[in-house]
Structure 1
Amino acid sequence: MILLLSLSFKNTPQKVREYFAFGREDKERLLTLLCEEKEIDEAVVLVTCNRTEIYVSTESKNATGSVINIILEKCEEIVGRSIEHLRDYVFCYTEKGAVTHLYKVSAGLDSMLIGEDQILGQVKEAIEFARDCNSVHLYLNTLFRDAITQAKKIKTETMISKSGVSTATLALRAAKDVLSSFEGKNVLLIGASGKIGNIVLKNALSYDFSHIYVTKRSHNIDMSPNVMDRISIIEYDDRYHYIEQADVIISATSGPHFTLTREHILKNSLSVDQKVFIDLAVPCDIDNRIRNLKGVYYYDMEDMKKFADENNEKKKLSIERAKVMAEEGVEKFLKWALFQKNLEVFSSAVESLEEEIKRIGEKKTLEHLFYKIRDNGSLEALQSIIDIFQCN
């Protein structure tokens, strides 16, 4: 049985999701703890800024409740505090529900911004990380591989990603709505070397900002010659010194603490005339008390969700086609899984048929098989077999 526990932006407030925003070490520890349990055979943990999902494979078909309790207990060990009061936010999916959910997530159909591409990369990273931790084997490996393959097909054959925009794009659009134009404006980007920050930086370079200040904690920022004159890399500790010069301040780190606090902003900014602060982090990077400051426009991931909902309305036709394709992928995987779980049945049937052929010949053996299917199978099963033969 494949089982999934999910907390996402759809059903869980950001403050609650922050408890489950596991970093690399916590994910590795969680996978180890889960796979040490005899009830759990495989496990994958998917963590993004909008969701935390835990997929497990188990042979305990009638022990859904106990497996859920085990997962939550191990999460509690990682979080370091009781999460009993958070159970109402946890959605549970099993078998087809869990498989369908992963296919939709991989294709961007369950994203805040439908059709966005970043989630597919995050799903790939989740299964690769689980492989490195030796926490996946046949079933989850195959499930994630097939879901990723189908997601690529959906993105190629539908328009859900063609008209898609990223959270980074939504953030810059929000800033432009406030400032009307970016001409002559400066932006300060905290966390430019991170995944989301890097996407924001690439998007910012496509606009006519006068200058872009970016903090660095590593050296993986692309500084091609044609952009060097527009970007200044500053030390993270100097970030407050540049707030006065910046019109747009965006923070997108994965740290547990505020990158900007209200007190330090007031201390370092003499003028807050129309400054846009955008927080793209979970947990939050920017002290949201600044929203009450005069001239400050503050947006966080909850606001991005509202903007994404508006964008999603434009994609409805492509979404319906993508959902059908996802369902086709789900059915294909479920048939594989059913066949895989019954290999012994098929092997035994082949042996039995071989013996029957030796005894009464091929023709009579096949006739007996068809009569057996007719007499013991359901009407739907019989019709399915007839359809298969008619196709050939």
Structure 2
Amino acid sequence: MILLLSLSFKNTPQKIREYFAFGDEEKKRLLLALCNEEPIDEAAILVTCNRTEIYISTHIENTNTLISLILKNCEDIIGMDIEHVRDYILCYTKRGAVSHLYKVSAGLDSMLIGEDQILGQVKDTIEFARECNTAHLYLNTLFRDAVTQAKKIKTETLISKSGVSTATLALRVAKDELSGFEGKKLLIIGASGKIGNIVLKNALSYDFSHIYVTKRSHNIDMSPNVRDRISIIEYNDRYQYIKDADVIISATSGPHFTLTKEHIKDNWDTESKKIFVDLAVPCDIDERIGSLDGASYYNMDDMKKYAVENNEKKKLSIEKANEMVKEGVEKFLKWELFQENWKVFSDATKSLEKEIARIGEKKTLEHLFYKIRDNGSLEALQSLIDTLSN
């Protein structure tokens, strides 16, 4: 059985999600601890800025026992009692868990319907679990099939055609506040990271007069056509550029604030409006900065209302994508049922071989059909007839 525990932007505040924003070392410890529990055979953990989801494959069906085991191990990693977050946790099992992963992979459960980044994160999730030796036959097959179906959905529908992501949405929010970017300057903290790099690439399509980026590595595009628009600054110098910047976007994976109210006061220009957008979980930017004169502050929770318009445009594509999800889920569940009952098929094959040797192929097949007729349901018989007719 596949079981999934989920905390997402849909029903869980960012402050709660931050407890479960596990880094790689924490994920590895949790995965290994979960698979050391007798009922849990496999485990994988998906962590993004909008969700944390724990997937397990198990040979028992006592949901309450499994939930308690998972949360107990989460408490050990987090280092505190998390009883108060139980009301936010959604549990999916069997078809529900499989269907949820298919929707997540296709971007159908994202804040921005159809966003592409989640597919890569799903791939990374199962790859990480494989490296930790906690994903085997069932989770490997589930994630592989979910990714394959997601790619098909993105190819055959329009849900991803607008190219909207959380990173581009951050710029849209800032643009609405400032009524355009002409003559404005942007500071990106964490431009070397996955999200920060997407922000930078999208920012180059706007008419910012200049873009400042902090670096922790050298993977920033500095091709000749953008070199005069970008200044790479040291992370430790970030506060010096606050006064000059109109839009400040932070997207690092660090555990601490990149900007705090106390440090920012010394570089504050009260004459100009400044937009702070925090794309990190846990938060990068001290939300108290939003109380400074002329400052506007947005984090991931604030993005929901800006996603509505994007999602409304995709209604027809969403309907088609959901139908394709159902097809994929049905295919996986049939594979799972077959896999779990392989011994039944193996024993039946041996029995049929003996019958064929005793009474011949024709009579053996006739007896098999009569057995299905007499012992199976009406639906099973009709399904067999439909299968044989095709």
Q: Aligned residue for 1:54?
A: 54
Contact 2:270 2:293 in 1 (8 A): no
Question: Could you state the TM-score of these two structures normalised by the residue count of structure 2?
Answer: 0.98
Instruction: State whether residues 244 and 271 of structure 1, in contact with CA within 8 Å, keep that contact through their aligned partners in structure 2.
Output: no
Which residue of structure 1 lines up, in the alignment, with residue 327 of structure 2? 328
Q: Indicate if the aligned counterparts of 1:5 and 1:92 stay in contact, CA closer than 8 A.
A: yes
How many residues are paired up? 390
- Alignment-derived partner of residue 193 in structure 2: 194
| Aligned-partner Cα distance in 2 for 1:43–1:185 | 47
Match of 2:152 in 1: 153
Matches within 5 A, 1:204-223: 204-223=203-222
Amino acid at match of 1:42: E
Q: Which residue of 1 aligns with 2:19?
A: 19
Please, which moves more after superposition, 91-100 or 163-172?
163-172
For residue 306 of structure 1, report the CA deviation from its aligned partner.
Answer: 1.3
After superposition, give the CA deviation of every residue in 1:172-199 in whole Å (9 maximum; x if it has no partner). Answer: 1111112222121110000101111010
Contact conserved, 1:248 with 1:276, CA < 8 A, in 2?
A: yes
Q: Which stretches of structure 1, 4 residues or more, deviate above 2 A after TM superposition?
A: none
Is contact 1:108–1:119 with CA below 8 Å preserved after alignment? yes
Tell me what 1:299 maps to. Answer: 298
* Structure-2 separation of matches of 1:68 and 1:307: 34
Q: Quote the residue 1:278 is aligned against.
A: 277
CA contact (8 A) 1:163 1:315 kept: no
Letter in 2 for 1:301: M
Question: Once the 2 structures are TM-superposed, how far is the Cα of residue 290 of structure 1 from its aligned partner?
Answer: 2.0
Task: State the alpha-carbon separation in 2 of the partners of residues 321 and 389 from structure 1.
Answer: 29
The normalised TM-score by structure 1 is: 0.98
Structure 2 stretches lacking a partner, 5+ long: none
Deviation at 1:109, TM superposition (A): 0.3
Secondary structure of the residue aligned to 2:253 is coil
| Deviation, structure 1 residue 272 | 4.8
RMSD: 0.9
Structure 1 position 126, deviation (Å): 0.4
1:10 lines up with 2:10 in the alignment = yes
Q: What are the residue-to-residue correspondences of 1:245-260 with 2, within 5 Å? A: 245-260=244-259
- Structure 1 residue runs of 5 or longer lacking an equivalent are none
Deviation at 1:164, TM superposition (A): 4.0
Separation (CA, whole Å) in 1 of partners of 2:181 and 2:343: 66
Q: Quick one: distance in 2 between partners of 1:181 and 1:116?
A: 24
| CA distance in 1: counterparts of 2:268 and 2:293, whole angstroms | 12
Q: Distance in 1 between matches of 2:386 and 2:79?
A: 56
Per the alignment, residue 165 of structure 2 pairs with 166
Deviations 1:199-221 (A, max 9, x none): 00000011111110001112221
Shift of 1:142: 0.3
Tell me, in whole angstroms, the C-alpha distance in 2 between the residues paired with 1:126 and 1:272. 46
Q: Any conservation in 2 of the 1:214–1:234 contact (CA below 8 Å)?
A: yes
Residue 311 to residue 259, structure 1, CA distance change in 2 (3 Å): same
Q: Provide the rounded CA distance (Å) in 1 between the counterparts of 2:268 and 2:184.
A: 16
Secondary structure (helix, strand or coil) at the match of 1:227 reads helix
Distance, in Å, in 2 between the alignment partners of 1:65 and 1:184 is 57
Secondary structure of the corresponding residue to residue 111 of structure 1? coil
